[in-house]
Amino acid sequence: MELFEKELSRLAEFMKNMENGQMTRFTALIPSWPSGAGRNVVLADNTGVELGGPSAESTAFMLWTGEPGIVTNGRITLIGPDIRECAGKTVPYARIILAETTGLDEENCYDRYRQMAALRHVLDLKGYMIRASSRYMSEWVRVSRDAVKSGFTFQVLGSALIGRFAALDFVSGCEVIFVTSSAEHVLSLKPIADDAMMLINAMNKLAVEEDHDCAACDFSKACNEIELLKKIREAREHQGTDKGGRDHE
């Protein structure tokens, strides 16, 4: 089974259920929003729109696949109101990135995941602040009043994200989904986010930790089901055997 096969299928089902609601589709533009010149804080007093954070439901996750045809490159989908319509409010928020990748294997998947995960933090957009929590699988975004007035939209944000992903040589496609419609919709995505995070944690553990005791590990079920995790585990076991063999020489 592919790493996020189940999660992608559940997300597709969610999107199908949303089709009758307020759904807008955009195409990514060439990113042109001015830089924030390194200032990455938008104060509450200067906030035009707040998305997620400590006082609103939020979830954020990324799924990737090597299978062509699942990701529509350059597509930005917004479920719910856009930034301008949210002005003056704190709204529930979900942000999902789908990436089509090439050449991800048991040797490079951890490093490549880290490269992709870091991209949301390197966005330097004037009037845009992001704080992200891996523990809560959520994001906290503030868009300044000036940015709202100047036309900052989810198309601008999505385009900047897609532009960053497109610059990675192992990413062949990227699309972004934003949800601002309701706390209920955001909450319904959380189980997908949690399961995706569990798989990423399993991958991280296999990549980072020296010793594995599969019998006592919370991730062993996932490692037995998912092809990529199986391969990482086997590769690590081989490394351990080789190292053990050398130690005895």
Partner 1 sequence: MNDTGTIVFAVCGKGGVGKTTVSAALTRFLGADEEKTVLAIDADPAIGLATALGFTGSKTVDGIRLELIDGLERGQTGAKEDLAQQLDYDVFAAIEERENLSFLAIGRPEKEGCYCKVNSLLRDIIGSIAANYDYVVIDGEAGIEQVNRRVMERVSHLIVVSDLSAKGIGVAETIAAVSADAVHFEKAGLIINRVRDDHELSMVRLPAGLPVLGWLPESDNVRTTDMRGGNIYDINDVALFERLRACLQGLGI
- Interface with partner 1 (CB under 8 A): 38-41, 43-45, 53-54, 114, 117-118, 121, 131-136, 140, 204-205, 208-209
**Closer to partner 1 at the Cβ: 29 or 110?**
110
- Residue 57 CA to residue 100 CA, distance in Å, equals 28
DSSP string, 95-153: EEEEEEESS--TTTHHHHHHHHHHHHHH---TTEEEEEETTTTEEEEEEEHHHHHTT--
Q: How far is the CB of 17 from partner 1 (least distance, A)?
A: 30
Q: Which is nearer to partner 1, 25 or 114 (CB)?
A: 114
Please give the Cα distance from 171 to 230 (Å, whole number).
23
What's the N-to-C CA distance of the chain in angstroms? 38
Is the Cβ–Cβ distance between 180 and 81 less than 8 Å?
Answer: yes
Which of 70/94 has CB closer to partner 1?
A: 94
Sheet containing 171-179: give its strands across. Answer: 23-27, 75-79, 171-179, 93-101, 58-65
Q: How far is the CB of 39 from partner 1 (least distance, A)?
A: 5
Q: For residues 30 and 208, which CB has a smaller minimum distance to partner 1 in the complex? A: 208
Residue closer to partner 1 (CB basis): 39 or 221: 39
Least distance from partner 1 to the Cβ atom of residue 123, Å: 14
Pick the closer one to partner 1 by CB: 117 or 198: 117
Query: What minimum distance in Å lies between the beta carbon of 212 and partner 1?
Result: 13
Q: What DSSP character marks residue 66? A: S
Contacts of 210 (CB under 8 A, 6+ apart): none
Tokens standing for residue 143: 């868009």
> Are 98 and 71 within 8 A, CB to CB?
yes
Nearest-approach distance from CB 43 to partner 1, in angstroms: 6
- Least distance (Å) from partner 1 to the CB of residue 130? 10
